[in-house]
Structure 1
Amino acid sequence: MKKTEAKDFRQLLLTLRARLRGDVNALADAALGKTRSENSGDLSSMPIHMADVGTDNFEQEFTLSLMEHDGSTLEQIEAALERIEAGAYGVCTECGCKIPKARLEVLPYTAHCVKCAEKASPR
């Protein structure tokens, strides 16, 4: 891969990383933040409806699962940036073949060519 192309992909990865870090931080604030009653200012000791508790729990678990997915993507982005620095970006880490530029434009943090990615994904 040419240095100018690698530089473009590096900038794209840095932009993605910054956006995801912001998303993860916002999700963490939402997941670990206040409950619905605290947000509304109701700090009384009156019990809240069980459905509200269930909704709060569901929303927190859903947010935590989104954070986990985004965290995994951040790890892949970091690995791709390391491959750029090492001069190995755009080469499949599994088979050593060149990853098509079109694939990198869609998934700039991918470490695998299409064939190897299909082998690795469960059906």
Structure 2
Amino acid sequence: GLGRNVNLFEDLRKIAYKDILKYKPNKTYDDFYHAMFSMAIMLNNHCNPTEPLSNNEIKQVCQSICKWTWRNFSQEQFSAIQAKRGTKNTGKKKNTKEKIRLEKALEILL
């Protein structure tokens, strides 16, 4: 498997990409960051129960994702990405192990 930092990064970025659209229109970057940091702590505790990442490591991963997502993601960009995926994946159904693992973790956490 991948390293704990990489796993947290991959899981959290997917959540951030979905959740950013809830925060950008009428909330602040700090609101978004604090929500993602809370989620990162929950993911870390669930996915790394015996050897969790330190708060500083979680903070670094979270800051990286939040800064990039806040700066580079908008409703227009999301719509363009979805449209591109729709034409690219017509007729395909993705069900990867990673997606299943993340969905199970989120079911437990939320």
TM-score (norm 2): 0.34
* Relative contact order, higher structure (CA 8 A, sep 6+): 2
**Max radius of gyration: which structure?**
1
- Structure ranking higher in helix proportion: 2
What's the TM-score once normalised by structure 1's chain length?
A: 0.31
